[in-house]
Every structure is written in C-alpha cells, then in structure tokens.
Structure 1
Amino acid sequence: MTNDTAAPLAVVTGASTGIGRAIAAELVERGYDVVIAAEEPAIHEAAAELARDGRTVTPVQVDLATAQGVEQLARTAREQGAPLDAVILNAGVGVNGRFDQTPLEDELNLVDLNVRSTVHLAKLLLPDLVARGDGRVLVTSSIAAVAPGPYHATYAASKAFVHSFAEGIREELKDTGVSVTSLMPGPTETEFFSRADMEDTKIGQMDDKDDPADVAREGVEAMLKGRSSVVGGSFANRVQAELGTHLPDALATPLMARMTKPQD
C-alpha cells in the first residue's frame, strides 16, 4: 500500500495502547492516514509501527485532560493538509476503589479526560465535518454505561455521559451527512485494569477478556456503516448490556459491585 493525497484522514485519541491503538491499526489497514494522540511517549512507538503499512501516521504526545492538550491536537489535525473524514474519541482512564477513599485528583483527572476532553475535541472538530457534509465520529463508551458502577462510580458515570452525548448529537446531526456511533466494549485485554488499579477485582482477573483488535474492528465497521451504537466483543457483553439496560438499578448495582469491588 502506498501513500497518496487521496487517503482519508482520521484522528484517534488514546492510541498508544489498547483499543485506541487497535482502532488506529484498523484504520491504517483500511487505507486511512491517521493522527494519533496519547500522553505517553509510547505514542511515538505506535506511530512508527503503524507507518510501516505505508500510510502517514502523525503522533501527538499531549495530555488531553487539559484544554491546551486538546487544542494542540485539533491544530495538528487541521495542519495535515487534508480534510478530516473520521474522529475517534477514545481516550479514557479508570479509577477503582470506594469513592470516599480514592484521591480527589484522580477522580477529577478522570472527568477531565473521559468527559471534558471528549466534549472539547468534538466541539473543535465536528464543525469541520458538518461544513463538508460528510464524516464519521466514533465515541468509546462502555457496557459500564448501562448501570451504576460501584467501586468505579466516576468511570461508569463518565461512560454513561459520553454514550448519552453521542446519541444526542447523533440525532442533532442526522441531516448533515455526519454520523455518530457509540462503541460499548466489555472487559478487554488491555492495560486499563492495571492502570485503574483493578487487577485485584473479579472483572480484572477474568481470563476470557476480549481481544482489542476484535473490538476495534467491530467499532470501525459500525462507524463506517453509520450505526448508532455497537456492543463490542463477546456475546456475554451484549447480554450484560441488555440486562443492565432493563434491570432496575437496585438489582443491577449490587451485581456489578461483586465484579468491581477490590478483594480483601
């Protein structure tokens, strides 16, 4: 595959590892040039590996939990000399533990990254897609969005926010040529659980977590088809999403607590 000026352009956040890295790889495989962003230096290694497939891959090492980081990424995307075709709002972190015992700065950083940066970057980049009358947006939510999440309460609430946000702006943009898709993964084999200090939970210790490449492929396919949402990964995830949606919170919440409570 050779590089050319006709290649579509995508932005992917949280792309140094995990689902975001796999989404970037899926897009490169489909012929996209990509701008990938993350706070870790590993974003440069990811870019070098992805560029081997012949596409232009531009790494941006920024802290998207800050307004300056979001604005820098938006500027870099616009400087690529090609119109944006797809925006993948994937960056996110988790915090595990009883809310009154977790550090305030960790919870607020989660809100800034998972929620604020998603809204901010969408606000900066979506008008460009709408002006062209064409484009795709993929927002990474989670099956955790469908019910309260004890011991990762702020994370679950943040994913409920971005799922609702995606569904809401999708309706607003339905006549513009721009579609918005919410990707709802379940437990996936990524660094999320170690970074969120969830390795001592039942969900963190699961042996049959989903492959991020499978989740990424399903998310990208749903995005390109203009679907409203997709539950990524195993059939069990779809079952859990349905149960979480329809079960009363009073029943769903203690069930989730068994999976996310740190082990003594």
Structure 2
Amino acid sequence: MGFPLSHYCCFLCVIVLLPVLCKCEDTFTYSRATYYGTSDGLGTPTGACGFGEYGRNVNGGNVGAVSRLYRDGTGCGACYQVRCKIPKLCADVGMKVVVTDHGGGDDTDFILSRHGFSMLARPNKAADLFAYGVVGIEYRRVPCQYPGSNIFFKVHENSRFPDYLALVMLYQAGLSDITAVDIWQEDSQAWKGMRKSYGAVWDMANPPKGPVSLRFQVSGRRGQKWVQLMNVIPSHWKAGVAYDSKFQLDY
C-alpha cells in the first residue's frame, strides 16, 4: 500500500527521532498570541516592515507583529495560518495573518491586529476571547495569495529623486523570502546590490539614471533563484508611488 509523500516524511521523523531535521508541510508550531489596539481595529501604517498604509489594511486588516519570525525583516510579508486552542471559543480553521510589524512580549510569537484576533473566534465568541488577552495558539506558514494582483514595487516615501531610492515590495504571493535586491548599472554593465535598510525596505544612494531594472533573490524550499525584471520602474520615479511589476511569484 502506498504512502503520500507528506505522510512518509512524518513517518521518517518519528523513526529516526530527529523531528527538528524533518519539516512536513502540515506541521504546526505551538505558541501564544495577543492583540494590539488601533482606532479601526486594523493594522498600523508605522509598522517595522516599512509597508506604510499597505501594512494597515492588506489582507482585510488581518495583520500582525511577530518576534522571532521577523528574522531581521526577511519575514515581512509572510503569511501564517493561526488558530487558538480554546475549543469552546476558537474557530477550527483559525485565520490567515500577514506579517507587517515586529514586536513581542509575554512569550508570544504573534501580536495580532484587533480585527485579526477576532477572526480566531467562533461566531459571537470574540468578546470572550478578547477577555483572555493572551491565548495559546498553533501556527504554520502558508502561501500568500493575491488573486489578480502582481508584485508592486513601491518607492518608499523617504526616497528623494534623483539622489536616494528606497523600495518595498507589495503583494508578494507564495511561500518564498526575498533575500537580496540588485539594480542594473548601465554604465558599468553590472548588477549592484541594494542595502537592506530595515524591515522590507531596500535602498541605494545615487541610483542609476534612467528606467530602473531590478533583480531579486528568492529563497525557499526550492533553494535560491534570481528573478530579473527590466525597466520595471520609470526614469522619473516618484516617492510614494507603487509600480506594477507585471510579475508574480507562485512558489
């Protein structure tokens, strides 16, 4: 009788007693979660990832801050399924949260927006769940999904044309991380790495003139891969504007 590959992986983990070396797709991690308050119950535009307004309302405002999952900003934009562990109060499926901020405390891995925290609850049980303040949870990383949307490169508000360019990627689908971003230098015919400024923000002083061509390194379960996008940002870019890459990740 055949075994599905995911079951075979879990079987091997038990047999060799090395679960830390075996990662099955359906594995949950146990932790704790709490919530923070905003006037509208959504996220905050001043989160440590540098997403701005996107960090407030992406995923319907079901966003949150993480501690160790932040990974010096590499974890920004990642999606997780989170479900709490109080049977009478907690929905079976839980909710999907997008990481937009960094924060921790009280042994929590997630500090959810108030709206996101309410989505953990069964119908009409949110008030009872809020009364706990901190709840036990289990979570796993899941693919981000933005149907009908490409990745956008937003020119961060702190950018100053033409002397300083800072970028942040929005609507990145899939399970992978962005671990490097390069800009094409036409005069030297070479790629030059952007600096990881903070969170999900990459920057460069004195960027090349003309249309901006980028490549970024994608790291995940399939290893590492460079994605190259030519002339993805116009010559006269503007701070605060997000430009459609015409490209999306699916892994």
- Structure 1 and Structure 2 fold alike (TM over 0.5): no
TM-score (norm 2): 0.28
Which structure is larger by alpha-carbon Rg, 1 or 2?
2
Relative to the length of structure 1, the TM-score reads: 0.27
Higher strand share: 2
